Structure 1
Amino acid sequence: MTGSEDQRPTPASVADLPNLAKALDDDRFRQFLDHVPFAVAVSELGQGERLVYGNIEFERLTGLHAEDLQGQQWNVLPSSPSVDGGGELAVALLENEEYLGVFSVRAPDAVRSVDAWSNTIVDDVGAPLFRLLALSERDRSDVEAALTQSLVEKDVLLKELQHRVKNNLQMITALIRMEARNAQRQEESERFGHLAGRIEALSILYRSLYGSNETETVDLGIYVSQIATSVMAVHAVEGIRLDMKVDTWLVSVNVAMPVGLVVNELMTNALKYAFAGRNGGEIKVRCTVDNDGCKILVSDDGVGLSNNADWPRRGKLSAMIVQSVKQNAHADIDVVSEPGSGVAVTITFKRENATAKED
């Protein structure tokens, strides 16, 4: 029953063998199964399904000896859930037939990746008699190649998704700015402008992540400088200068995001209100890093606040953003202002509170 090399049995072909009930009582057939190049195990159906056979390859793959299988149920199999996120092999073979998928088998000497098939053997009148399980070990190089291909495909899909999100953010920003220009009332226009600026700050952050191999960190200095440049371009006022100096430093996205939004808020407010009735002025932006941590400074030499408590105002979105900085980076925020002397807001946080945390 050995046949030629081209006619070697496959797991699927053994599962389709007729008259398995009779064949299992034949020692010659058992010897044949003992030497097929894949694992085979058989259970007898009926009241309380029990295993009755396992071949030599099954013993090698699973570490279970044939005599230890006798009378056991399928949950004796030392397998992990399928690699595609499905259930345990012992559950899958009871619920499905034909090809079951790829599973990890935890034998005492190694963890092996196997393809699994299951089939129910019936008698001449269709009554179920046996359940057959066939396992074929995957070559490690094949497994690694499949995993690599899967990762490549997922990476392509992720980059496509990132590209679409980036484009959508830019389109949303453009639409909001268009609505702001068409707004009938000045108050409506300002609200639209503030919203567009916040979305643009997030879009810049997303572009920073999309353009690098990092997914958890962003260069805070570069991010702050990009936001400052963007705000100046959108709300440019003749005679207003930007004095900017930044140090580069990688920080957690959860820190960079609210810091960038605060910088956007402060610069937008300064360009709109700080220099009312004046011919010019200066906005200063600093991102300085030392051994202790980082300081972000946004200041202007404009008209100033009547009261330091005027920013951020309770109940406003800017107050929520400031609170996010305090929570995510354990930051201290200092607001200094006097009428006619401008506004200076300093955000200070320690180095250990700004790095990406591992799960």
Structure 2
Amino acid sequence: MSTVLGHQIEEVEVPNEVDRDRFERFFEQIPLAVVVSTLITHEHVIYANPAFEALSGQVRSEIEGQPWGRLRGSSVGRDQPVALGDAITAAPEVIGTFQIDRPDGSASLIDLFSSIISDDEGNPEFRLAALVDVAPRDSSLVQEFEVQMREKDMRLLEMQHRVKNNLQMITALVRVEARKARNQDESGMFDRLAGRINSIQLVYKLLSESGQREEVDLGVYLSDVASSIMHASAMEGIRLELKVDSYPVSVNVALPTGMVVNELMTNSLKHAFVDRDSGTILIHSLSDERGRRVVVADDGVGLPPDVSWPKHGKLGALIVQSLRQNAKADLAVDSQPGRGVRFTITFA
């Protein structure tokens, strides 16, 4: 995080227990281009992460302390082009497709989502803009993309809505965790948030590698999510039992499923094997005559008698709600004290 953003954090009186080094590492490692402005006094950009520099070709020193108009880029598929900076400030929430002309002569096509982040009293504090690279930097592809947009290609419109929903979830995650940081110094808080962000990043990675816009292989995706979590935790003695069938699903199904799996595995690694030096976490993604389902289980201590998951009002409940609404799925929980817990996601 730049010293400018650090100064802004001090202005909004985030307590000292917030570890600014961890906060900085979190923003630096987000796999999406992010730019933040302050709304406390006159609006100006206070932060841009390395992913933005790589995507746009602009260094952060060019825009920090400046209005949004310093960002390069203009809209795609409109009769009257709109500058990227003007579009960002035009409304509290903005979504659109833009072309950024880079200093090296190449062009980046990006999907933009920007949103205002308010404090607990509802007072606007920051504006966050996230930019997702949606096409290679090739002039012929830029022209093809413009034609598709003018023809209102429904697949691209659906992709825009998908990006909007995903990035709205990122903003919600940042807001919830930031509020927690103000109340307590919870160990590993930003590691958990990084896992959630990584679940989203892995979807875009698979889309990019497969050349698909609509679908990912759920088995491959959940394998990547589970392996990433195990690698990040580095807990000795905990074994991952992974069994997945290959079947395609839409991103609107894959993303909430991956985030639920991330939450459940993270909880298992944190709580299931207390005072134990070994254990097993099971991840199955199956498609057979019984239907399509995902099972997440462990052989740990199980849920305490007075504890349920997801807990109403917590972020896990929001993610499960997204799973039920977007993936048309049901979640069943079977916990046996001392023998572990089993979560089964069943798709309609």
**TM-score normalised per structure 1:** 0.47
**Structure (1 or 2) with the larger CA radius of gyration:** 1
